[in-house]
Structure 1
Amino acid sequence: MGVHEMVIRTATPEEYAAVGELTVDVYVGEGYVPPSSSYVTELADTERRAAAAQILVAVHDDRVVGSLTVARYGLPYAEIARPGELEFRMLAVDKRARGLGAGTALVRTVIETATAESCEAVALTTMPAMVDARRIYDRLGFVAVPERDWTTPAGELLTVLRLPLPLR
């Protein structure tokens, strides 16, 4: 199975369009974000995100099958990170590639990065509707921090999850 390995790495500029398309496909196509939302522009604009944050991709058989955005505290795209936390956002996995472990591998890479950077935790915001993603987070040990939940301008309640990392 070695040929079909899942590779996780930082996206190259040539992949930005594919990442934007995939992210919009998942968020809009699966009903998490209405097509009319201003957030769609942000999801599509990988180039702008890449200038201020780290875009990770999961590549399988030379195809981008997943992506997420790593946002460091105090920098653009960090919405909920507190000092000492590494945040990630916009996890998207191609429907046709689900079950290959792309989502888990992407999140594990964020955890490894946070550990290497001596962060105390990884944090993220998720929507109650994102059941598949929530399964990954639960399995990896993320816990809800209800006091940090927040509401979008459209009035949707979002859930904050956090994974405390062992102190080194």
Structure 2
Amino acid sequence: MRYLVFLASFMFLCIPAQAQIYKWIDENGKTQYSDQPPLSAKVQKEQRLRIHSALAAVSLSDDEEEDANKPRTLADERADYDQRRQERMEKEAEKKAKVAENKQKCVDAQSRLRVFLESPRLRMPDGQGGLSYVDDNVRDQKIKEANEAIAEYCT
């Protein structure tokens, strides 16, 4: 019984309130809003607005107002929802691919750094089919590049 009384009182409180608001331009050219009609006779333009408290006020451009006046079907709303969902999924997939790519670049940079740090006498291909030892200047440059790549991709 208590729940029935609570439910009835809750439903009574959920009734949306309606109000009538007047919008007019006064003699100074300012737009005025009030819940009572203007008293002066020098009103340039008067407009009655019906406001429902359950709805949020949104300012729309002329094109959006025309679109808002057209009735929307369930199929249109479903198509809009599917389009937003598809865009969100594409963004998430791009983000995941970028994260995976950065992770792979991080692992590669760490392995390059490990090779250059652990091998003081490193041999690399010389471009003519042979191998040549890497001098200390080139080795230091490669270590610096690997550290920069780690700083960029391993965050």
TM-score (normalised: structure 2): 0.19
Q: Which has the higher strand share?
A: 1
TM-score (normalised: structure 1): 0.18
Larger Rg: 2
